[in-house]
DNA sequence: AAATTTCAGTACCTATCGGTACCGAAACGA
DNA sequence: TCGTTTCGGTACCGATAGGTACTGAAATTT
């Protein structure tokens, strides 16, 4: 099913499967899993329903493949961030990457991993669960990176990697919501600056 | 239409409109606008489609009324936060309120204002826009409160209220995503603690 | 060239979507 | 009690959801 494998081989696929998947990704990104209809998807992909089902399985499988592509494409800043030398650099690169990815002029605002299926009815449950897993695994990766940083002395010995990772991930999610709300790139960058600074020193006693 | 107003008066409503709206709110909260079908809604509300349309108009109007109820109910911590004496207290109360509201045992995890319609297809556009407006107006209210704090000397004269407000709102949105991901209340509270502290002091030169 | 295989596309499937016409019954003012 | 009004409920509306059978053409191997 997946590919022409048997003897005769037959006619090869007449469209670029990667390009079509990219189009599907854009639709899921913009409209969410439930909001993206088969008609929306196949129109954007430039193929018929039949070809879509033959090539990807069904809507849910298409979503999963789109999510994979998203991880390796627009969200690849995540993997790169983890390779930065210090925890602080990891956090900065990650948050800046989130700002970039959620405000690309040629892509929908926001993050597929957040807005793809945050709250769904029964038919979208599988997509919802897939994104929960996606977010958790991302946060776990940050946590492990921070744990390493602590072991290396890059972070204080008494710091809590899981807590820091959750904090950074929370900021990234919040940034993606703000992007979906329409906040421009510069406004999001200010959030990072504020987050990585202290709360402004207030006068001790205002009254 | 809206209420029995004309001469004869006629038979009064046989169900509690507030209670029914509360049930609808729960469904929208859990499943989002597009994921909540009329059948889901009316089943939860305990009334028929006919009664729903007569009492509320249509699905979109029901959603708007549910959002109002949400603002005055589960999200009322927002208004209370703005009355706190200092900007710092406003921020703390707001974030703690977000944690509470997004992790109530008897309600769906997360925030309706975020997950109700973050990414939708064409039929959910109106709900999407309503939530964008909702989030913006909330953030504006925080901004104005912070501006007042600055004028009062509660915040430094050179601080940027809009920037601080956006930062706090971003954290609240991120917290709601984390809640929807399944992070328990205690985990969310740690995020607040981390956010309101400085980034942990790292050793100046790790290498 | 023949035989095979999978292509892309039309047409259609059942189920369900949001929304409505119509119904008898119940509750009001007079 | 009567007339009026709106109630709650069934049945149904056209449109569309996700998914599939079937068709004829095109590309591959032998």
Distance A129 CA to C14 C1' (A): 27
Percent residues over pLDDT 90 in chain A? 82
- Tens digit of each residue's pLDDT (9 = 90 or more) over B46-77: 998 998 998 999 999 999 999 999 999 999 99
For chain B positions 156-175, those within 8 Å of chain A (CB to CB) are 156, 159-160, 163-164, 166-167, 169-175
Q: What is the CATH number of domain B74-195?
A: 1.10.357.10
B30, B35, B103, B161, best to mutate vs chain A, most A CBs in 10 Å? B35
Please tell me which residue lies nearest to nucleotide C7, judged from CA to C1'. Answer: A11
Inter-chain CB proximity B124 and A35 less than 8 Å: yes
Contact A116 B119 (CB under 8 A): yes
pLDDT on residue B25: 96
CATH number listed for the domain at residues B17-67: 1.10.10.60
Domain ranges of chain B: 17-67, 74-195
Q: Among all residues of chain B, which has the CA nearest to that of A32?
A: B119
Q: Which of A67, A119, A142 would you mutate first to test chain B, the one with the most B CBs within 10 A? A: A119
Q: Which residues 54-73 of chain B have a CB under 7 Å from nucleic chain D?
A: 54-55
The topology under which CATH files domain A17-70 is Arc Repressor Mutant, subunit A (1.10.10)
| Predicted pLDDT at A180 | 98
Q: Tell me: pLDDT of A157 over 90.
A: yes
CB of B9 within 7 Å of some strand D atom: yes
Residues of chain B with pLDDT under 50: 1-7, 202-207
User: pLDDT tens digits, residue range B35-53?
Assistant: 999 999 999 999 989 989 9
Contact: B190, A35; criterion CB under 8 Å:
no
ipTM: 0.91
Complete DSSP assignment for chain B: --S--SSS--PPPSS-HHHHHHHHHHHHHHHHHHH--HHHHHHHHTS-HHHHHHHH-SHHHHHHHHHHHHHHTTTTHHHHHHTSSSHHHHHHHHHHHHHHHHT-TTS-SS-HHHHTSSS--GGGHHHHHHHHHHHHHHHHHHHHHHHHHHHTTSS-TT--HHHHHHHHHHHHHHHHHHHHHT--HHHHHHHHHHHTSPPPPPPS---
Summary mean pLDDT of chain B: 91
């Amino acid at each position: 099913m997946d590919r022409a494998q048997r003897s005769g081989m037959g006619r090869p696929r007449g469209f670029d499967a990667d390009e079509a998947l990219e189009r599907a990704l854009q639709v899921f990104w913009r409209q969410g899993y439930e909001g993206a209809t088969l008609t929306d998807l196949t129109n954007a992909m430039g193929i018929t329903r039949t070809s879509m089902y033959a090539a990807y399985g069904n809507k849910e499988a298409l979503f999963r493949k789109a999510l994979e592509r998203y991880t390796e494409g627009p969200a690849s800043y995540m993997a790169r961030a983890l390779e930065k030398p210090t925890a602080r650099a990891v956090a900065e690169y990650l948050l800046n990457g989130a700002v970039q990815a959620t405000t690309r002029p040629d892509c929908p605002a926001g993050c597929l991993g957040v807005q793809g299926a945050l709250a769904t009815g029964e038919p979208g449950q599988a997509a919802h669960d897939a994104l929960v897993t996606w977010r958790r695994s991302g946060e776990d990766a940050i946590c492990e990176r921070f744990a390493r940083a602590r072991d290396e002395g890059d972070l204080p010995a008494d710091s809590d990697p899981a807590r820091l990772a959750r904090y950074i991930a929370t900021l990234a999610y919040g940034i993606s919501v703000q992007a979906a709300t329409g906040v421009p790139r510069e406004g999001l960058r200010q959030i990072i600056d504020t987050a990585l600074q202290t709360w402004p020193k207030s006068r001790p006693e205002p009254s």
